[in-house]
Amino acid sequence: MTLIKSRRMVRPYRPPTPLGGRSATGPGRARRKPIERRRRVLRALVFLAPALVILAVFTVAPMLSALRLSFTDSNGFGIENWVGIANYERIFSDPSILNSMLNTLLYAVMFTPVAVIVALALAVALNNPGLRLRGLFRSALFLPFIVSLAVAAFAWSYLLNPQIGLLSYWLDLIGIHLGNPIENPVLAMPTVVLIAVWKNFGFYMVIFLAGLQDVPPSLYEAAKMDGAGPWRRMTNVTIPMLSNTFGFVLIFALIAALQAFDQIYILTSGGPYGATQTVVYEIYEQGFQQLHLGFASALSYVLLAATLILSLGQFFFFGRRESELN
């Protein structure tokens, strides 16, 4: 009887009822959820509004305007005539445009592997914990990336000058007489590629260094116990573990190669004899020198399509790798 009476006296816990008499877990709270959600969305839109306005005015609107111009013969003045896809047809039939595409492809083929390999080699070397002053070396090698490429191109133009350039003077001392390489049709493209590698490899090196931090040291220790040398550890441990980082840097370098302009504009202006005429420099020349705005816009969208294809390749590559790891 005592047991039954004690059970009846125990009451289940009920949370205190808030002011207004409605339960915190009842229908009132369910009705407030959509209101709170709308308030959060509204607050987010208020904070995003300035950035969205700037993006719409300075990015979306110019892109739509350029898309419209690509179907016209606009020169920036007077009446625009609708020409349909004539500008796009000209891109794949004009010999000078095809030459600029080939030069851009050559630039990408020369720049991408050299920049990636140099960055990876230096990242592996600077990841050694026993290296003294490695922080100083990392900062010094990253420093060229901070400098504007246009400013760096001016500096390199003086270094390469056969009359006053230190680089030409040092090469002359060891019996190499190149003259001015940016005036040589054979050496002009390798020269501008070399400057771009010098400018960008520090950024790629930092990305590789970040990826190396996630490689477990136990893998290297196990490889050493199996008798693997430095090269085998590089090919069997480092590169497979950096596959995602490697793919990101590779795609990033390819996209940067498609946009080569600054050092070409400063050093060669597309010459000599069109040897360094890239797609971006062709867009500049057609749009701002010859005032063929419609054709320049069409060429810009072809370049955008190529960049988009590379970006989608990167997206699907990382998506597949993530699904394989999971």
User: How much is the pLDDT for 324?
Assistant: 60
The answer to whether residue 119 sits within a structural domain is yes
Residue 18 has pLDDT above 60, yes or no: no
Distance CA 204, CA 142 (A): 9
Residue 11 has pLDDT above 70, yes or no: no
User: How much is the pLDDT for 282?
Assistant: 93
- pTM across the whole model: 0.80
Percent of the chain topping pLDDT 70: 87
Distance CA 51, CA 48 (A): 6
Percent of the chain topping pLDDT 90: 34
The answer to whether residue 139 sits within a structural domain is yes
Judged by DSSP in three states, 259 sits in coil
What CATH number is associated with residue 146?
A: 1.10.3720.10
| Most distant CA atoms of the chain, gap in Å | 114
User: How much is the pLDDT for 223?
Assistant: 83
The answer to whether residue 27 sits within a structural domain is no
* pLDDT 10s digits, 106-132: 999 999 999 999 999 999 888 887 778
User: How much is the pLDDT for 319?
Assistant: 64
The answer to whether residue 183 sits within a structural domain is yes
Distance CA 184, CA 180 (A): 7
The answer to whether residue 234 sits within a structural domain is yes
> Of 272, 294, 274, which Cα lies nearest the Cα of 283?
294
User: How much is the pLDDT for 252?
Assistant: 87
Residue 1 has pLDDT above 90, yes or no: no
User: How much is the pLDDT for 28?
Assistant: 56
Confidence of residue 5 (pLDDT cuts 50, 70, 90): very low
Mean pLDDT of 248-265: 89
User: Considering its fold, how many domains does the chain have in total?
Assistant: 1
Distance CA 209, CA 238 (A): 11
What is the average pLDDT value for the chain, to the nearest integer? 84
Distance CA 145, CA 253 (A): 13
Is 144 in contact with 152 (CB distance < 8 Å)? yes
Mean pLDDT of 174-182: 80
User: How much is the pLDDT for 3?
Assistant: 44
The answer to whether residue 34 sits within a structural domain is no
User: How much is the pLDDT for 115?
Assistant: 94
Query: How many C-beta atoms lie closer than 10 Å to residue 215's C-beta?
Result: 15
Query: How many C-beta atoms lie closer than 10 Å to residue 72's C-beta?
Result: 20
The answer to whether residue 45 sits within a structural domain is no
User: How much is the pLDDT for 180?
Assistant: 83
* pLDDT 10s digits, 60-118: 999 999 999 999 988 878 788 898 899 999 999 889 999 999 999 999 999 999 999 99
Residue 287, domain extent: 94-325
* pLDDT 10s digits, 35-49: 888 888 889 899 999
The answer to whether residue 47 sits within a structural domain is no
Distance CA 273, CA 40 (A): 60
* pLDDT 10s digits, 134-143: 888 888 999 9
* pLDDT 10s digits, 268-320: 988 888 899 999 999 999 998 888 999 999 999 999 998 888 878 777 766 66
Helix residue ranges, H only, the chain:
2-9, 27-55, 61-69, 86-91, 95-126, 134-146, 149-160, 166-173, 188-212, 217-225, 230-233, 239-241, 243-258, 262-267, 279-284, 293-325
